[in-house]
Copies of this chain bind each other. A is one copy, B any other.
Amino acid sequence: MGRKQTKSGKIRLTEVAKLAGVSPITASRFFRNPEALSLSKRERVDSAVKELGYVPNLAARALASHRTEVIGVVIPSLTNNVFADVLRGVYDSSEGSRYSIQLANTRYSILQEEKLLRLFRAQKPAGLIVTGINQTTESRAILESMNCPVTQIMEIGESPVDMMVGFSHYDAGFAAISHILEQGCRRIGFLGARMDPRVQRRFEGYRDAMKAASLFDPNLIVTTSVPTTVTLGGTLFADLLAQAPDIDAVFCVNDDLALGVLFECQRRQMSVPGDLAIVGFNDLEFMASAVPSLTSVRTNRYEMGRHAVTMLIDAIEGRRPREPVLNLGFQLMVRESSTPQST
């Protein structure tokens, strides 16, 4: 015969059905569509399941039904707090649904992303959430061959693979700089770390706002590809000061850098915002709490996660949104660090 006998202890759906006195297919329906069963059978199956301690075999289910109830989520980093909030939204809105979340981490590697997408494809997820809009041609091809709804999150742009939820990093960067300019600052430095595509677009917002005010100067810019840390904020700021000692404001591409700048100012006895205005990005929780409180651009990360999942589930279940691209915008949270007059 084929293979060794099924372990005696193993409970299959057949056993459950037998005990409940129904056919296997009825027992199967108990899990997928209990309303379709008569109350009496439903109860009989239910107690049989409990009595035998039946655990459905997901692989068999997936094989027979050609689908799974997994939503894949591909993000570039777990260390970056930004994604923690997105994921909270994702988990919150998947809870209560039949779908379970499977998380994958590219660590900002294009190759890793392709590999993960390939892995997901082999698993036939019900839907997929991916970060950003700068997938490689190869990744995009995989996504398009995937035969399931896909939501791109964190930013919006032209030609979505399928759906998108995000905001314009360019606009957000531009708005931040406009605000600083309004405060009367003229020499606004730019501090950037891990220049991923979204950070790059924030930079473009900075650049264009500065150019529009005829204040653009390459000396005001310090960037690195190194991952962001608070300490790095201090280091980069020191570099910036060395190359442009006359700066009166700094725009940091994220809040960790901004906090690092604040600490460095404290170390150098520079007053914030008196000597220097600081504006961060993301509006992490600590920004409001710092002394002085730090201005930042709030991005609706939690909502992004929520909407991404909601839209995805709707699409999976055939209720496609009429508008595939959802712009969640941003809010400039103006605080002490960028309002010199209030000091």
Chain A positions within 8 Å of B, measured between CB atoms, are 55-63, 68, 78-79, 81, 83-85, 87-88, 91, 100-105, 107, 118-119, 121-124, 229-231, 233-234, 256, 259-260, 263, 266-267, 285-286, 288-291
Contact = CB atoms under 8 A, between A and B. Distances in A.
A122 B231 contact: no
A333 B85 CA distance: 29
Contact of A88 (B59, B78, B285): B78
A59 B124 contact: yes
Nearest to A287: B230
User: How many copies of this protein are present in the complex?
Assistant: 2
Contact of A285 (B83, B91, B231): B231
Contacts of A78: 78, 83-84, 87-88, 91
A122 B55 contact: yes
Contacts of A85: 79
Contacts of A286: 229-231, 256, 259-260
Nearest to A262: B291
A123 B58 contact: yes
A91 B88 CA distance: 20
Given A79-B85, A234-B289, 19 more contacts: A55-B118, A55-B122, A56-B122, A58-B59, A58-B123, A60-B63, A78-B84, A78-B87, A79-B81, A84-B84, A91-B105, A100-B119, A102-B102, A102-B103, A229-B289, A231-B286, A231-B289, A260-B286, A263-B289
A60 B62 CA distance: 8
Given A79-B85, A88-B78, A260-B289, A57 B122 contact: yes
Contacts of A105: 87, 91, 101
Contacts of A103: 102-103
B68 A79 contact: no
Contacts of A289: 229-231, 233-234, 259-260, 263
A56 B122 CA distance: 6
Which of A59, A81, A122, A234: most chain B CB closer than 10 A? A59
A18 B146 CA distance: 25
A58 B122 contact: yes
Contacts of A88: 78-79
Contacts of A266: 291
B55 A63 contact: no
A57 B87 CA distance: 28
A58 B84 CA distance: 29
Contact of A62 (B59, B229, B260): B59
10 contacts: A55-B122, A59-B59, A78-B91, A79-B85, A101-B104, A103-B103, A231-B285, A231-B289, A234-B289, A256-B286
Nearest to A79: B84
